[in-house]
Structure 1
Amino acid sequence: MQLGYIDWSIIAFLIAVLIWAALKTNRYQRTVADFLVANRCAGRYLLGVSEGIAGLGAITVIAFFEAYYEAGFSLIWWGLMVNLAMVVIALTGWVVYRYRETRAMTLAQLLEKRYNKRFRIFSGFLIFISGTLNFGIFPAVGARFFQYFCGLPVINIHIGFLTFDIVLASIMIFLIGISLYFTFLGGQIAVMVTDFIQGTLFNFVFCAIIIFLLFKMPWDDLINILSQRPQGQSMLNPFMAAQTRNFNVWFYIIQIIGLFYSIRAWQGNQGYFGAAINAHEARMGNIFGLWRALTQQCMVFIVPVFAYVLLRHFSFSEMASAVNEQLTSISNPSLQKQLTTTVILSSVLPVGLLGAFGAAMLSALISTDDTYMHSWGSIFVQDIIMPLRGKKFKHEKQMSYLKLSITGVAVFSFLFSLLFPQNDYVLMYFAMTGTIWLGGAGAVIIGGLYWKKGSVSGAYGALITGIIVAVINFVFQRIWNARGLEFPINSQWLWFIAMIASSAVYIVLSLIENKNFDLDKLLNRGIYKIKDDQAIEYNASKNLPLWQKITGIDENFKFSDKAVYLTMSGFIAFCGLFLIAGTIINLIWPLPQSFWNVFWKFFIIITLTLSAVTSVWFFLGGLNDIKILFKRLKSVNRDYEDDGTVNK
Structure 2
Amino acid sequence: MTNFDFFIDGGIVVLYLVGTIAAGLWVRRYVRNVNDFLVAGRSVDLYLGIASLAATEFGIATCMANAELGFKYGFAGITPGIALAFAMFVVGYTGFCVKPLRDKQVITLPELFEDKFGARVRWASGVVIVLGGLLNMGVFLRQAGNFLTAVCGFDIAYLEIVMTLILLGVAAYTILGGMISVFITDYIQFVVMSIGLIAVVFLVVYQFGWIDMLSSLDQIRGPVAYNPFEDDTYGLDRILLDVLLAFASILTWQTIISRVLSAKDTKTAKHIFIGTSPFMLARFAIPAILGIAALHYFGPDKFTDSEAILAMPTMFAQLLPVGLIGIVVAAMLAADMSTNSSYMIAWSSVIYNDIMKPIHKGLWSDAKGLRWNRILIALIGIFLLLYGLWYPLKGDLWVYLQVTGTIYLSSMSVLLIAACYWKPANNWGAIAAIAIGCAIPMSYLILQEVSVTQEWILEVGPYKFGAVTYFAAALAMFIGSLIKPSNKKTK
Bigger drift between 496-505 and 429-438 goes to: 429-438
How far has the Cα of 1:359 moved from its partner? 0.9
Runs (5+) with no aligned partner, structure 1:
156-166, 314-319, 517-648
- Deviations 1:384-424, CA, capped at 9 Å, x for gaps: 11224445212211111111111111000101111111122
Cα gap change, 1:74/1:179 in structure 2, threshold over 3 Å: closer, same or farther?
A: same
**What secondary structure does 1:421 align onto?**
coil
- Deviations 1:230-275, CA, capped at 9 Å, x for gaps: 66x63245453x343xx44542332113323453322244542311
1:555 match: none
TM normalised by structure 2 equals 0.92
2:159 match: 168
Contact 1:455-1:515 within 8 A present in 2 as well: no
1:302 aligns with 2:277: no
Cα gap change, 1:8/1:278 in structure 2, threshold over 3 Å: closer, same or farther?
A: same
2:252 match: 265
What is the 5 A alignment of 1:385-534?
A: 385-390=356-361, 392-479=363-450, 487-513=458-484
* In structure 2, distance between residues paired with 1:491 and 1:265: 21
Bigger drift between 118-127 and 254-263 goes to: 254-263
Cα gap change, 1:454/1:72 in structure 2, threshold over 3 Å: closer, same or farther?
A: same
* In structure 1, distance between residues paired with 2:250 and 2:256: 12
Find 1:368's aligned residue among 317, 320, 339: 339
Cα gap change, 1:79/1:180 in structure 2, threshold over 3 Å: closer, same or farther?
A: closer
Contact 1:458-1:508 within 8 A present in 2 as well: yes
How far has the Cα of 1:13 moved from its partner? 2.3
User: Which residue type is aligned with residue 443 of structure 2?
Assistant: I
User: Which residue type is aligned with residue 256 of structure 1?
Assistant: V
What is the 5 A alignment of 1:106-185?
A: 106-155=108-157, 167-185=158-176
Contact 2:81-2:280 within 8 A present in 1 as well: no
Contact 1:269-1:371 within 8 A present in 2 as well: no
1:41 match: 43
How far has the Cα of 1:11 moved from its partner? 1.4
User: Which residue type is aligned with residue 72 of structure 1?
Assistant: G
- Deviations 1:59-116, CA, capped at 9 Å, x for gaps: 1111101111100123336743542233222222222222111100011111112221
How far has the Cα of 1:514 moved from its partner? 8.2
Contact 2:132-2:404 within 8 A present in 1 as well: yes
2:220 match: 229
User: Which residue type is aligned with residue 282 of structure 1?
Assistant: A
User: Which residue type is aligned with residue 372 of structure 1?
Assistant: Y
Contact 2:39-2:262 within 8 A present in 1 as well: yes
* In structure 1, distance between residues paired with 2:246 and 2:226: 26
Find 1:69's aligned residue among 60, 68, 71: 71
Cα gap change, 1:373/1:294 in structure 2, threshold over 3 Å: closer, same or farther?
A: same
- Deviations 1:292-345, CA, capped at 9 Å, x for gaps: 3334542222111111101139xxxxxx9xxx5xx68xxxx63x2221211112
**What secondary structure does 2:105 align onto?**
coil
User: Which residue type is aligned with residue 316 of structure 2?
Assistant: L
- Deviations 1:157-181, CA, capped at 9 Å, x for gaps: xxxxxxxxxx111011101101101
- Deviations 1:170-228, CA, capped at 9 Å, x for gaps: 01110110110110221100011101110121122222111111210133322332222
* In structure 2, distance between residues paired with 1:138 and 1:75: 20
1:526 match: none
TM normalised by structure 1 equals 0.71
Cα gap change, 1:265/1:170 in structure 2, threshold over 3 Å: closer, same or farther?
A: same
2:280 match: 293
* In structure 2, distance between residues paired with 1:431 and 1:277: 31
Contact 1:104-1:110 within 8 A present in 2 as well: yes
Asked which structure has the greater CA Rg, the reply is 1
1:254 aligns with 2:241: yes
* In structure 2, distance between residues paired with 1:387 and 1:354: 50
**What secondary structure does 2:220 align onto?**
coil
* In structure 1, distance between residues paired with 2:384 and 2:468: 29
* In structure 2, distance between residues paired with 1:259 and 1:143: 27
How far has the Cα of 1:485 moved from its partner? 7.4
Contact 1:131-1:268 within 8 A present in 2 as well: no
Contact 1:35-1:186 within 8 A present in 2 as well: yes
Runs (5+) with no aligned partner, structure 2:
none
Structure 1 runs of 4+ aligned residues shifted over 6 Å read none
Contact 1:269-1:372 within 8 A present in 2 as well: no
Cα gap change, 1:114/1:468 in structure 2, threshold over 3 Å: closer, same or farther?
A: same
**What secondary structure does 1:452 align onto?**
coil
Cα gap change, 1:248/1:200 in structure 2, threshold over 3 Å: closer, same or farther?
A: farther
Cα gap change, 1:197/1:249 in structure 2, threshold over 3 Å: closer, same or farther?
A: farther
Cα gap change, 1:515/1:35 in structure 2, threshold over 3 Å: closer, same or farther?
A: farther
Identity of aligned residues (%): 27
The structure showing larger relative contact order (alpha-carbon pairs under 8 Å, at least 6 residues apart) is 2
2:4 match: 3
1:190 aligns with 2:191: no
Contact 2:63-2:283 within 8 A present in 1 as well: no
* In structure 1, distance between residues paired with 2:123 and 2:215: 57
User: Which residue type is aligned with residue 395 of structure 1?
Assistant: D
Cα gap change, 1:467/1:23 in structure 2, threshold over 3 Å: closer, same or farther?
A: closer
Cα gap change, 1:72/1:281 in structure 2, threshold over 3 Å: closer, same or farther?
A: same
* In structure 1, distance between residues paired with 2:436 and 2:319: 48
User: Which residue type is aligned with residue 323 of structure 2?
Assistant: G
How far has the Cα of 1:361 moved from its partner? 0.5
Contact 2:65-2:309 within 8 A present in 1 as well: yes
The alignment's C-alpha RMSD in Å is: 2.4
What is the 5 A alignment of 1:348-367?
A: 348-367=319-338
Contact 1:75-1:249 within 8 A present in 2 as well: no
How far has the Cα of 1:2 moved from its partner? 2.7
**What secondary structure does 2:262 align onto?**
coil
Cα gap change, 1:262/1:220 in structure 2, threshold over 3 Å: closer, same or farther?
A: closer
* In structure 1, distance between residues paired with 2:80 and 2:384: 32
1:99 match: 101
* In structure 2, distance between residues paired with 1:373 and 1:207: 28
User: Which residue type is aligned with residue 3 of structure 1?
Assistant: F
Contact 2:84-2:281 within 8 A present in 1 as well: no
